[in-house]
């Protein structure tokens, strides 16, 4: 009987975790925008510290209707040299952003991009997750 209760409990916990992961998908947004600032290629990769940088996009189309500015800062966590080569200033990209509520104090922001986070009045912080092809 104990084993049956444990199996049922694990099953219910599994369903709960699946439901939570499906909820996180609702925090994803699609942005089509023109890149205004470049990803600095001198940023060290993540290792001991979690490095992040911020780049700005001019919004062409954005699925988060609560954001009303024309320009949006996007956080790139642990940018790597491949990302700086993928993105060119002035080109238009479709990217997926996530609005996870990560504690910003855990991240070391590259000095040249820090002010972009505070320049705009944002209720949410948008994190780059993938480039759409």
pLDDT band at 60 (very low <50, low <70, confident <90, very high): very high
pLDDT in the model for residue 24: 42
125 Cα distance to chain centroid: 8
**In the structure, what pLDDT confidence band is assigned to residue 3 with cuts at 50, 70 and 90?**
low
Which helix or strand (DSSP H or E) is residue 37 part of? Answer: none
Q: How far apart are the C-alpha atoms of 99 and 2, rounded to whole Å?
A: 41
Q: Hey, where are the domains in the chain?
A: 28-131
Q: How far apart are CA 76 and CA 79, in angstroms?
A: 6
Which pLDDT score, from 0 to 100, does residue 36 have?
A: 95
Residue, of 120 and 81, whose pLDDT is higher = 120
| Contact by Cβ (8 Å): 27, 97 | no
Please, are residues 39 and 53 in contact by the beta-carbon 8 Å criterion?
yes
Q: To 5 degrees, how large is the angle CA 133–CA 32–CA 108? A: 90
Residues contacting 52, CB < 8 A, separation 6+? 75, 76, 77, 78, 79, 107, 108, 109, 110
């Amino acid at each position: 009987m104990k084993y049956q209760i444990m199996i049922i409990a694990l099953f219910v916990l599994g369903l709960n975790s699946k439901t939570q992961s499906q909820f996180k998908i609702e925090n994803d947004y699609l942005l089509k925008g023109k890149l205004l600032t470049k990803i600095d290629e001198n940023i060290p990769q993540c290792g001991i510290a979690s490095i992040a940088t911020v780049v700005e996009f001019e919004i062409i189309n954005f699925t988060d209707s609560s954001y009303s500015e024309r320009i949006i800062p996007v956080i790139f966590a642990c940018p790597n040299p491949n990302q700086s080569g993928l993105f060119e200033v002035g080109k238009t990209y479709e990217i997926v952003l996530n609005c996870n509520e990560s504690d910003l104090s855990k991240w070391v922001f590259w000095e040249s991009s820090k002010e972009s986070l505070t320049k705009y009045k944002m209720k949410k912080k948008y994190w780059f997750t993938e480039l759409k092809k």
